[in-house]
């Protein structure tokens, strides 16, 4: 008979093999092969980018794919003798708000920077979506120490339910300048221009240089003339896009993007000198159009993890704290979830936090992988694979893996929202109804139960409530309205998942 006693070397081997991922702080498990998924991430990626064509303002190009849309707002800016034609309507109305548009641009650009290499045929469409925004932001920043931050009167716009092609509400123009500063929207605009410069660095270097040059000018203005833009434009931007969290996070975020885009030590020094006063180590754990601290921490941690910039070591710790606040089952987790498993931050457009969070943790997982590092949450090791699993669950819920079996992306899957809170989608197209639809007439359609006649392909709506319920009512804008800043980070997440599961 052979002895049943294991040799000491074999015991050590078995202990290390089975225990390492759970008990060794620096353990780095091998990348598992992807399992089967019921989701078509490639289809969702295509549609998530296509959505931006439904949000276009201005003169539409010949290759416009959502053909139920037409030219609109072709005299924007004329109230101040400036060309502000173009850009995006941020959500379901006909307003152009510069603050969320700039954040959308930054996140679309970051999606391309991190995951564009995986997008294959969709990469050019993603670049086009970025360019539609940056062309507008260049116009909005064409005058020194001035940014045009809004076109349209929100209260009067919301008093009508009309197609953008029929729009006859005032296209008032609002700006910030040295006398009425807005460091938040200015620094976010600088971040957008800097991030986009990296998108076009190889394909259109002249355009990229223009974007980066403008980003530097705009950031200097943001930093020199400090203040929150809603202090001056409260009646115009509140309660829609008030700067609730102040402007400090945007200054840190803008500097982080300029550091990444320029490699100029000036911006690293700025971050070192000002980081603490700009809230680098605050404990907030929400990432949105209004609060950029978490995004800045993740972005800056890459410079430490991969470029070994020791001055930014603290940002890895701050990023880890954010991760530990998110992962279910960890003692330090502060995250709330619906019974069906959806991250729940707000009853108003909650899905924006789902997509932004999913993007951040996938991106951080990528950085950690490259540096062969993990996150230690009070003795509990969180690996990059655990982060990817967490993000995948959130994206899968969004796409239909939820108690209602409802896809919250319009046009994706067998069941999706039919009554989206969106003027152009809900009213007959100009092609099918050439006559003008008057301001007040549209409200009968807003309040009706009829499905939207035009499919706003790829739009991600606000999502279900805290109990996973979704009424699919057009008038329920908290849950049924899409927004550009909800889709922008999802583009990157979907590209990663489509690639990982062999769909690209």
Determine contact, residues 374/381, Cβ cutoff 8 Å. Answer: yes
Beta bridge partners, 377, equal 380
Quote the CA–CA distance of 161 and 100 in Å, as a whole number: 22
Q: Is there a contact between 485 and 104 (Cβ–Cβ < 8 Å)?
A: yes
SS3 call for 135: helix
Which stretches within 400-462 are classed as H helix? 423-426, 443-446
Q: Do residues 93 and 150 lie in contact, with contact meaning Cβ atoms separated by under 8 Å?
A: no
d(CA 206, CA 109): 17
Reading the block at residue 76, the tokens are 């924007």
**Token pair listed for 491:** 């583009």
Q: What six digits make up the tokens of 95?
A: 């307003």
Residue of 94, 98, 238 lying closest to 156 (CA atoms):
94
Please say whether the beta carbons of 487 and 494 come within 8 A.
no
Is 204 tagged catalytic? Answer: no
Separation of alpha carbons 29 and 32, rounded Å: 8
Residue with tokens 């598992």: 32
3-state secondary structure of 381: strand
93 given a catalytic annotation: yes
Which of 422, 472, 479, 499 is labelled catalytic? 472
Which of 259, 421, 422, 499 does the annotation list as catalytic? 421
Gap between the Cα atoms of 197 and 213, Å rounded: 9
SS3 state of residue 353: helix
Secondary structure class of 176 (helix, strand, coil): strand
> Bridge-partner residues for 460, per DSSP?
409
Q: How far apart are CA 341 and CA 345, in angstroms?
A: 12
Q: Could you tell me if 137 and 193 are in contact, meaning their C-beta atoms sit under 8 angstroms apart?
A: yes
Look up residue 224 and give its DSSP letter: H
Candidate list 43, 93, 114, 157, residue with the active-site label: 93
Catalytic, 90? Answer no
Residues recognised as catalytic = 93, 421, 472, 481
């Amino acid at each position: 008979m052979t002895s049943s006693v294991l040799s000491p070397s074999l015991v050590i081997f078995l202990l290390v093999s089975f225990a390492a991922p759970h008990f060794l702080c620096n353990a780095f498990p091998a990348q598992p092969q992807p399992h089967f998924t019921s989701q078509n991430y490639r289809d969702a990626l295509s549609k998530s980018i296509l959505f931006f064509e439904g949000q276009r303002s201005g003169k539409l190009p010949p290759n416009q794919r959502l053909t139920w849309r037409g030219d609109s707002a072709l005299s924007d800016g004329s109230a101040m003798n400036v060309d502000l034609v173009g850009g995006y309507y941020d959500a379901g109305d006909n307003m152009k708000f510069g603050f969320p548009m700039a954040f959308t641009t930054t996140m679309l650009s970051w999606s391309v920077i991190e995951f564009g290499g995986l997008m294959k045929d969709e990469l050019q469409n993603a670049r086009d979506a970025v360019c539609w925004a940056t062309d507008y932001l260049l116009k909005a920043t064409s005058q020194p120490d001035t940014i045009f931050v809004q076109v349209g009167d929100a209260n009067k716009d919301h008093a009508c339910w009309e197609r953008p092609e029929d729009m006859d509400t005032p296209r008032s123009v609002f700006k910030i300048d040295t006398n009425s500063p807005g460091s938040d929207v200015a620094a976010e605009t600088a971040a957008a221009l800097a991030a986009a410069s990296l998108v076009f660095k190889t394909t259109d270097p002249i355009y990229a240089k223009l974007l980066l040059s403008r980003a530097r000018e705009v950031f200097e203005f943001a930093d020199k003339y400090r203040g929150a833009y809603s202090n001056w434009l409260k009646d115009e931007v509140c309660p829609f896009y008030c700067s609730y969290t102040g402007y400090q996070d945007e200054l840190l975020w803008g500097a982080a993007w300029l550091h990444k885009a320029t490699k100029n030590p000036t911006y690293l020094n700025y971050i070192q000198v000002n980081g603490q006063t700009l809230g680098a180590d605050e404990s907030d754990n929400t990432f949105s159009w209004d609060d950029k601290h978490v995004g800045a921490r993740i972005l800056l941690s890459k410079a430490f993890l991969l470029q070994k910039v020791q001055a930014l070591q603290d940002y890895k710790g701050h990023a880890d704290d954010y991760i530990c606040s998110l992962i279910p089952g960890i003692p330090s987790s502060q995250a709330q979830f619906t019974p069906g498993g959806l991250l729940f931050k707000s009853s108003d457009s909650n899905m924006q936090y789902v997509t932004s969070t999913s993007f951040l943790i996938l991106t951080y997982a990528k950085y950690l992988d490259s540096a062969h590092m993990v996150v230690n949450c009070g003795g509990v090791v969180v690996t990059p694979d655990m982060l990817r699993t967490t993000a995948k669950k959130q994206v899968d819920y969004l796409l239909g893996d939820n108690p209602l079996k409802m896809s919250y992306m319009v046009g994706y899957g067998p069941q999706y929202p039919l009554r989206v809170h969106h003027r152009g989608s809900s009213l007959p197209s100009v092609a099918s109804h050439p006559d003008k639809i008057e301001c007040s007439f549209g409200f009968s359609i807003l309040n009706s139960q009829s499905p939207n006649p035009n499919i706003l392909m790829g739009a991600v709506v606000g999502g279900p409530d805290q109990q996973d319920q979704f009424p699919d009512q057009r008038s329920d804008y908290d849950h049924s309205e899409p927004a550009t800043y909800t889709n922008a980070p999802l583009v990157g997440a979907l590209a990663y998942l489509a690639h990982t599961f062999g769909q690209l």
